[in-house]
Chains A and B, each alone.
Chain A
Amino acid sequence: MKYIIIFMSLFFLQANSIEPDEMLEDTRLEKIAREIGKELRCLVCQNEDIQNSNADIAKDLRKIVRKKLLNGESKKQIIDYIHSRYGDFVLFSPPIRIDTFGLWLLPIIFFFFLTFLIFRK
Chain B
Amino acid sequence: MRILFLIFFCFFFFIFYEGLKKDPKEIPSNLISKKIPEFNLKGFNSSEMTNYDLYKSEIKIINFFASWCPPCQIEHEQLMHLSKKNSVFGIAKKNQLDELSSWLKRLGNPYTKIGMDLEGDVSIDWGVYGLPETFIVDEEGIIKYKHVGPIMKRDLKELESVIKNLR
Contacts and interface: CB of A to CB of B under 8 A. Distances in A.
Contacts of A89: 27
B31 A44 contact: no
Interface residues of A, number: 19
- Which size bracket describes the interface of B in this complex? 20 to 34
Given A61-B124, A64-B121, A87 B130 contact: no
B123 interface: yes
Nearest to B34: A84
Nearest to B29: A87
Interface string A71-104: 0000000000011111101000000000000000
Contacts, number: 41
Contacts of B120: 60, 63
A8 interface: no
The majority secondary structure among interface residues of chain A is helix
A92 B57 CA distance: 40
Interface of B: 1, 5, 8, 24-25, 27-31, 119-121, 123-127, 129-130
Interface of A: 43-44, 46, 57, 60-61, 63-64, 67, 82-87, 89, 113, 117, 120
